[in-house]
Each structure stands twice: as structure tokens, then as C-alpha cells.
Structure 1
Amino acid sequence: MIKKISTIQLVPGMTVAEDVFTYDRQLILSKGTILNDRLIMKLDLYGILTIFIEGSVSASSSEVSPQEQTYLQRIKEDPVFPVFKREYEISVDFLQENIKRVIKGSLKLDINELLKGVLRVLGVDRGRIGILDLLQNMRAFDSSTFSHSINVALICNLLAGWLKWDTKRVELATACGLFHDIGKIQVPHAIITKPGRLSAKELAVIQQHPALGCQLLISQNADEHICNAALMHHERCDGSGYPTGLKGDQIDPYAKLVAIVDVYDAMTAPRVYRGPLCPFRVIELFEAEGFQKYEVAYLLAFMENVVNSYIQSPCLLSDGRKGTIIYINKSHLSRPIVQCGTEYVNLLEHPDLSIVSLL
């Protein structure tokens, strides 16, 4: 039996029933391919929403490994976390309440007011804990479109800062991240959360969310870049994205920035078969396939700063050894040098090894 299912429901071991193409007809996966975690992430990277698989679709629950649990628990037990969590949840709730009223027509969109909530989250004294670590732990509490929007806004703020943009541009990038998925909120919730098969009509509705978001933002007199980020965040520099297959300089620079962060947040999120994904796994995929699809300068700045934030972090290698990340290889960011006891393991020299989780 062949079924069409949402990529968010995919599980390693499923068999691809039909060839999978990008929106400009590039072959991504061939019929008969057995899915693994990396291939599922690849579909996220290409913005694929649904594919055909063979056999039945059974429900599963997210499993967090003991190693991942150690990492998440360490963050949760820090006194910073409840303060961050409170401000984060206030921001998510405020965004949800306001956007729903805007869509109903009972409230005018106040971008500056909604941005204040995000800036309050950023203003929490986090000590030595990075915001990416805190966001990883928040996934256990909320995985809604609204929390994703807050995540993307926060990380867009980081990336714009890493790119040395001025204060005004950093705030605009933050707003672009905050409202990039506003069109998805206009898609019926039953379609967004539907497990299993999506009809052709339902798929078409989901694919309309960039245009829906742009139209809503234009009606609210939002900045042109915010409107473009909503419309273009699924476009890719090589023309493989949607809704219109734009290339390179045809894509708004703020939309290019949001595109990277949007995919990163999606790929590090929990799946039905696993907990939150180790950032080094995502960086590895970006290195392998991201440079044609994303603005190179933005992608490099993002990857370099993400991995550098984990220097001196404990980790688990794929052979079961525990160690500490002590040096980042600039030529291959996902393969740092890890100290395991008295031994120094250069992952660049050991292609059979990788970091599977942070501890």
C-alpha cells in the first residue's frame, strides 16, 4: 500500500514509494530508498512537505536518549532556566493572542509591541548558558507555530548580530523571523497537525502559507522586508524553493537569513522517533548540501558561531566514548577535535566517528 504522508511523520526505516523532486524538478530521493535520520533531515533542508511511502503508517512517540536527557536536564536545573522559561512563555502567549485577533480583524498588528516580548526574552541574564541551549530545552514544553516563530525571531537576532548588522537591521531581522510563518496560522489547524495522508487540496493549502502571510502583512502596512520574509522564506538561492522558484539576488536578503534559521529550528526539533537533534548533525548537513541553497556568507557566519558556542561542551561520540569539544576545525565545522580522557580525537581524521549528542 502506498500512502502520502507529511515529512514530520517520517521515521527511519520507511521506504520511499515514488521519486522525490524539488520544486524545480531536481531529484532528491529515488523510489525504493530506505529512509534514515540524515535523509529525513535532507527533506527538511529542501523544504519538502510530503512524500509517498510504502506500507502502513504507525504512530510513534518521541524518544529522548539518556545522553540527550542528561544534557537537557543540566540546562533545566540551572537557576537561569525558570526565568527564561517564564519570559519565553509570556512572549509565546502574547504573540498567539495578538495574531489571532489580527487575523479575525479585531486588532491592528503592532509589530513594535510584539517585538518587545522577544527582546525581553533576549534580555534575560543567562549567565554562561547560550540561548540555543535554552531553546533546545523549551521544545519539551511547546512545539507550536507560535513557539517556532519566537525561536526563529531569537535566532535571527543572533545571526544578524553575528553578521555585524547595525541595531536597526538586527531588530528588523528579528521582526522578519517573528512573522515569517504568520500565513501558516491562517491554515486550518486540522491540516497542519494531520497525521498521515494529506490530500492534494490540503497540500495546496499548506503551500499557500507564504502568500497568505505576505498578504496579511501588506494589509497591516508592515515593512517591505517583513512581507518579503513571509513570502520568500522557502525560496532557495539555486531556484529549488517555492512558491515561485526565485534565485540568488531575486530573494530578499532578510528572507535569506530567515530561511537558514527556519530550517535549523525545524531540523533540531524533536521528531516522532527521537528527541531534539544534536546541532552538529544539522551543521554536517548544511556543510554537505547547504552552500548552493543558502546565502554563503550568512550560512558560514551561522555555522561558525553555532559550533563555536559549544567549545568546552561535553559530548558523546558515535563509538560510545565521552569527551569534551576543545577545538573547531574551520575547514569542516561539524568535525571538531574532542578530548577523550588523555586522547585527542580529531574527527576530521576519523570519518567513521561523529558527535551524536551533547552531554
Structure 2
Amino acid sequence: MQTVACISLQEGMILGTDVLSHRGDVIAKKGDEVNLKLISKFKRYNVMVVDVLDAMDLANTYFERVQVSPGFKKFMNSYQEAYATYKETIMNLITKHYTINFPALLSLYDSVRKTIRTDEDLIDYMYNQMVAEDEITHAHCFKSALLAGTFADWCQFTNAEKLILIQAAFVYDIGKLLLPNELLWKTGIYTPEEKLEIQRHTTLGYDMLMQSAAPYDVCMAVLSHHERVDGSGYPNHLKREDISKYAKILAIIDTYEALSAARTYRSAKLPLEIISTLQEDGMVKYDIGYLLPIMQHLSNMLVGRKVLLSNGKEMIIRYINNNNLSKPILEDNEHHLFDLSRMTDTKIVTML
């Protein structure tokens, strides 16, 4: 809520409190919409200032409040400026065969990351971005690089290892930029031949980076970020001990960012839905030593948030269920606790 001088009022603003005359009579009520007639009335009663609702007051959900927050706006200004430079760098590699200046990419990372106060803010800001279809590959890598620094900290990487991971995340999907757009943007089911063509992006990216003298660890992470510890990945069906730590954590970042990103044809999955997917698919495919701390941090961030359930009830996420990270313990307004893992026909619809 903010206090506004009556001479600055605009039609459509919503009053945040009752407006009283000097005698104490109510001349306008909380929730009234400001119009020219009401502004004239304030002038007649010599009302100098009134309280009006701001964007934060009008937001109905947690994510709407994030989107109108000053922190998010500051982040987006920095993000858009750095992203434009990043995209130009990548396109120069693709079209002009320039060598990538990786220290410059790390500077872009720092310029954006310093606008973010906490890891929780980073996760929220990443979650609330909408990316145009023709920007998906570039934005996916750029956002993955921002996530990589935080995920590396959660997995106790050294600073040197963290920097390698960030660099790899900036470029791990650039091989897709060498594939036809109609293949990348296909909305239907891929044929077996198309799947094999899509999978070539790992080797295409690796070859391009090797030719541009990129760091070896970065090149290997790009080549192997679709390998899985059970051997079900590609291109070489490597297993646990043969996959670098950078490729292992990139695999998690890749999946997380894709699930958390909104598209024009679908909304982003809710945070607990993402954790559920990682639990179901990842326990045998990802390195549990990296997956578990990432899921635990993501889950712990949700404690205290208000949620709307599919049965229409509103509750608070009170505790994380360590036996099932995607099914927390909820608390209603009478302080009764409910285990979501036992509410088999109920799910979280949104965060309020």
C-alpha cells in the first residue's frame, strides 16, 4: 500500500483504506475504485492524501507477488542486458566461428547474480520468467548457468569446480542451434529418426567447442550432459563412474530448468511437481549425491508458504517430509497437521 497525493490520483486506482472527512465521516470506502467523480469529491472535502493499493497488494498468488516485486524488476533489468550480450557471443560462435571468451561469460554471470539477494530469490526469479519460443535454447543455457552457481554451492563444489560448471552450463545445449528450427520446435511426437537427430546436439556442441579451444572439462560436460548413471543416456551410454561430475549435475540442471520454465503452450510445473518428477525419474538416472541435496534445498524453501489444495482448502506448508520430499506436512488455520502423502486424492493446485 502507498500514500498518494490527491493531485496525483489516477482513474482505476483502488483505495487501500477508508477516506474520512475532517469531521470523521466516511466519504469513500476501502476498495473503491478511483474515478473523476471521486477525485472531485476529495477536492471538495479538502482531502490531501489517500492510501491506495499497489501492485503487491493486488497480487493474488505468491508468484504474482514475485513478479511485481522491486527485486524481480531489478533482476530482470540486469538479466536482459546480460542476456543480449550472451546471445551475441553465442551467435558469433555459430555464424562467425569466433572463440568464446569464457571469462567474459563469467562476468555476465556475476553481473546478474549480484542483483539477487538469496538462493530462494534466484529460484523464484528463474521460475517466473516467460521466454519466447525462438529464444528457448539461448535462454535455457543462460538460465542454467545462473542456476549452476547455486546448485554447485549446494553440492559443495570448490570455487574452481563451480566456475567450470557455470561455463559448461552457458554452452551445453549450443549444438541445438545447428539443428533445423522445425525439428526443435515440433510440437508432436518425434519419430525414431528425429530423436536420433535431436540427440546429435551433444556431439555437435562438443565438436564446435573443441574446435574453438574451449576448456576440456567444459567440452566433456557438454558431450555427456545427457548420459545417465544407469547407462540409459546418450551418446555413449556411459555409467556412473565414467561420467564427469559436471555432466552429472548438468543433467539435473537441464531437467529442472526445463520443468520450471513456462512455455506458450503450458505453464511451468509447480515446485513440488518438479521435485516429484526428479524423485520418480531421477533416483536411478541421476547421481543421488547431487540430486538429494538439490531436492532438499528446493523443498526447504517452500516451508511457510500458503497453498491451495484441489479440495478447495487453504493450508500452510509446515514441515518437509524427508521420506517423500514432494509431499510435505500441511497445517490448516486451526493448527491441525496433515500428511500430504496420505491424502491420495488431494494435490496442491497453486501457491497463494
Distance 2:272 2:78 in 1: 28
Percentage of matched positions with identical amino acids:
32
Instruction: Label 1:173 to 1:69 Cα distance change in 2 as closer, same or farther (>3 A).
Output: farther
Deviation at 1:137, TM superposition (A): 1.1
- Cα gap change, 1:284/1:129 in structure 2, threshold over 3 Å: closer, same or farther? closer
Question: Which residue number corresponds to residue 331 of structure 1?
Answer: 323
Q: State the secondary structure of the residue aligned to 2:233.
A: coil
Q: Secondary structure at the match of 1:356?
A: strand
Among 206, 209, 212, the alignment partner of 2:198 is 206
Partner Cα distance (2:276, 2:108) in 1: 33
Partner in structure 1 of residue 79 of structure 2: 88
Give the counterpart letter for 1:79 in structure 2.
P
Give, in angstroms, the shift of residue 93 of structure 1.
1.5
Match of 1:356 in 2: 349
Q: Is the 8 A contact 2:129 2:262 kept in 1?
A: no
List per-residue Cα deviations over 1:8-64 (Å, max 9, x = no partner): xxxxxxxxxxxxxxxxxxxxxxxxxxxxxxxxxxxxxxxxxxxxxxxxxxxxxxxxx
Map residues 199-278 of structure 1 onto 2, 5 A cutoff: 202-271=194-263, 273-278=265-270
Give secondary structure in 1 for the equivalent of 2:106. helix
Residues 109-164 of structure 1: CA deviation (Å, up to 9, x unaligned): 11110121122111114369521111111125675111111111111211110112
Partner of 1:325, secondary structure, is: strand
SS in 2 for 1:214: helix
Matches within 5 A, 1:70-219: 70-126=61-117, 130-139=121-130, 144-196=136-188, 202-219=194-211
Distance in 2 (CA, whole Å) between partners of 1:355 and 1:103 is: 43
Counterpart for residue 286 of structure 2: 294
Q: Distance in 2 between matches of 1:265 and 1:322?
A: 28
The 3-state SS of whatever aligns with 1:227 is: helix
Give the whole-Å Cα distance in 2 for the aligned partners of 1:137 and 1:285: 19
CA distance in 1, matches of 2:63, 2:203: 37
Q: Which runs of 5+ in 1 are unaligned?
A: 1-67
Cα deviation 1:83-122 (Å, max 9, x = unaligned): 1111111222112111111122352211110121122111
Look up the match of 1:55: none
Q: Show the counterpart of 1:49.
A: none
Q: How many Å apart are 1:341 and its aligned residue?
A: 0.9
Partner of 1:183, secondary structure, is helix
TM normalised by structure 2 equals: 0.77
User: What residue number does 1:54 align with?
Assistant: none
Aligned length: 292
Partner amino acid, structure 2, of 1:144 = I
C-alpha distance in structure 2 between counterparts of 1:106 and 1:211, whole Å: 17
Report the CA distance shift for 1:318/1:120 in structure 2 as closer, same or farther (over 3 A): same
Consecutive unaligned residues of structure 2, counting only runs of 5 or more, are 1-58
| Distance (whole Å) between structure 2 residues aligned to residue 270 and residue 135 of structure 1 | 10
Confirm or deny: 8 A CA contact 1:314 1:325 kept in the other structure: yes
Contact kept? 1:80, 1:127, Cα under 8 Å: no
In structure 1, how many angstroms separate the alpha carbons of the residues matched to 2:223 and 2:330? 41
Relative to 1, partners in 2 of residues 1:69 and 1:233: Cα closer, same or farther, differing over 3 Å? farther
Structure 1 residues 308 and 256 mapped into 2: Cα distance closer, same or farther (>3 Å)?
A: same
How much does 1:300 deviate? 0.1
Alpha-carbon spacing, 1:223–1:69, altered in 2? closer, same or farther (3 Å): farther
- Structure exhibiting the larger radius of gyration computed from Cα positions: 2
- Residues 214, 128 of structure 1: alpha-carbon distance in 2 compared, 3 angstrom cutoff: closer
CA distance in 2 between partners of 1:329 and 1:104 (Å): 50
Report how far residue 358 of structure 1 moved: 2.1
What secondary structure, in the 3-state scheme, does the structure 2 residue paired with 1:330 have?
A: coil
1:299-324 CA-to-partner distances (Å, cap 9, x unmatched) read: 00110001111111222223222222
TM-score scaled by structure 1?
0.76
Relative to 1, partners in 2 of residues 1:196 and 1:289: Cα closer, same or farther, differing over 3 Å?
A: closer
